[in-house]
Amino acid sequence: MALVSMNELLAKAQKEHYAVGAFNCNNMEIVQAIVAAAEAENAPVIIQASQGAIKYAGIEYITTLTKIAAEKASVPIALHLDHGTSFAQVMQCVRNGFSSVMIDGSKHSLEDNIALTNKVIEAVRPLGVSVEAELGKIGGTEDDITVSEREALFTDPAEAERFVQATQVDALAIAIGTAHGQYKGVPKLDFERLTQIRERVSTPIVLHGSSGVPDEALREAISRGVCKVNIDTNIREAFVKAARLVLEENLKEIDPRKMLGPAREAATAIIREKIRVFGSNGKA
Ligand code: G3H
Ligand code: 13P
Ligand code: ZN
């Protein structure tokens, strides 16, 4: 199958009350793990590339690997730019074959975020490419801020309504208490805020920083309207743990495949688990 945009995947997820997993890739083994997991669970899936992934692997390698994976796969796959930083970067990804992009204007004022998002939508929607935007600031677990400082960065429901009216964006990432990376404690999500946002906007909602969020909280967020869930850190943890085990058990190992093969299997296993939590298994 050719790569698809996120729109058809998210529309079905929203209607049937599950979420599509959006998994970050950084190399061939992780692309293969995401596709193997999606096929084993018969689930639609989003493969996404972060700024770090683009720097590490390059846009062309990511696009080529993912296109081949999608062509061979029996499930629908979207290739999505994660936290796109500029109009130029978005266009470069689209020219290379990405079927979906995120333009992260969350560091700008509301009006500037709207203007940047609209500029992207105007350019890529005619090409059938879907667009995700971010409102509120999600940030990282390593950010040195207090709980109340983080809460001040949460998405404001009234602003979300204004943003969606002004952009008609395809998917909206919101800040309700999650953060990127490994949590120190257990993250506490502001479900009430999520519901308030859902009541004001019908756009598919995206949860970032979802690694380390308890399964029950993920299910609750999905029941309240989240239909795309982003996972990166859990894949890194599983991948590196398995690779490390191989090396620790055989200090003389020199074959990268002996290390990367089990790492790929471990990544597949965690992605399959997440797909089941999101309820997207059997939905391809
Ligand atoms: O956006 C969140 C990613 O998990 C961070 O990725 O370190 O690959 O840029 P990166
Ligand atoms: P985690 O690494 O915390 O799972 O976050 C992933 C993410 O939000 C990518 O955009
Ligand atoms: Zn993110």
CA-based nearest residue to 69, from 21, 35, 40? 35
Q: Is the pTM of this model over 0.95?
A: yes
Considering the domain boundaries, does residue 41 fall inside one?
yes
Evaluate whether 51 touches 83 at the Cβ level (below 8 Å): yes
Considering the domain boundaries, does residue 283 fall inside one?
no
Confidence at residue 263, expressed as pLDDT on a 0 to 100 scale: 98
From the CB of 27, is ligand 1 less than 6 Å away?
no
Q: How far is the CA of 152 from the centre of ligand 2 (A)?
A: 20
CA-based nearest residue to 197, from 227, 218, 230? 227
Give the position, in ligand 1's atom list, of the atom nearest the Cα of 51. Answer: 9
- What one-character-per-residue DSSP string does 86-137 give? -HHHHHHHHHHT-SEEEE--TTS-HHHHHHHHHHHHHHHGGGT-EEEEEES-
Confidence at residue 126, expressed as pLDDT on a 0 to 100 scale: 98
Confidence at residue 186, expressed as pLDDT on a 0 to 100 scale: 95
From the CB of 231, is ligand 2 less than 6 Å away?
yes
CATH number for the domain harbouring residue 141: 3.20.20.70
Confidence at residue 1, expressed as pLDDT on a 0 to 100 scale: 87
Q: How far is the CA of 173 from the centre of ligand 2 (A)?
A: 12
- The encoded tokens of residue 282 equal 């059997």
Q: Where are the alpha helices (DSSP H) in the chain?
A: 6-16, 28-41, 51-57, 59-72, 87-96, 110-124, 147-151, 157-167, 191-200, 215-223, 233-249, 256-278
Considering the domain boundaries, does residue 233 fall inside one?
yes
Evaluate whether 176 touches 155 at the Cβ level (below 8 Å): yes
From the CB of 139, is ligand 2 less than 6 Å away?
no
- Name the DSSP class of 152: T
Considering the domain boundaries, does residue 1 fall inside one?
no
From the CB of 232, is ligand 2 less than 6 Å away?
yes
| Residues of the chain where predicted confidence (pLDDT) is lower than 70 | none
Closest ligand to residue 187's CA: 2
Considering the domain boundaries, does residue 284 fall inside one?
no
Q: How many domains does the chain have?
A: 1
Contacts of 141 (CB under 8 A, 6+ apart): 179, 180, 181, 182, 183, 184, 209
Give the position, in ligand 2's atom list, of the atom nearest the Cα of 24. Answer: 9
Instruction: Provide the CA 81 distance to its chain's centre, in angstroms.
Output: 9
- Name the DSSP class of 267: H
Q: How far is the CA of 139 from the centre of ligand 2 (A)?
A: 10
Give the residues across from 45 on adjacent strands.
21, 77
Coil, strand, or helix at residue 70? helix
Substitution site in 23, 24, 89, 142 for ligand 1 pocket (most atoms within 8 Å of beta carbon): 24
From the CB of 232, is ligand 1 less than 6 Å away?
yes
Strand pairing report for 77-84 and 100-103? parallel
- The encoded tokens of residue 118 equal 């609209």
| Residue numbers annotated as active site | 82
pLDDT tens by residue, 152-192: 899 999 999 999 999 999 999 999 999 999 999 999 999 99
Considering the domain boundaries, does residue 171 fall inside one?
yes
Considering the domain boundaries, does residue 56 fall inside one?
yes
Considering the domain boundaries, does residue 45 fall inside one?
yes
Q: How far is the CA of 50 from the centre of ligand 2 (A)?
A: 9
Give the residues across from 23 on adjacent strands.
47, 231
From the CB of 24, is ligand 1 less than 6 Å away?
yes
Domain extent for 68: 6-278
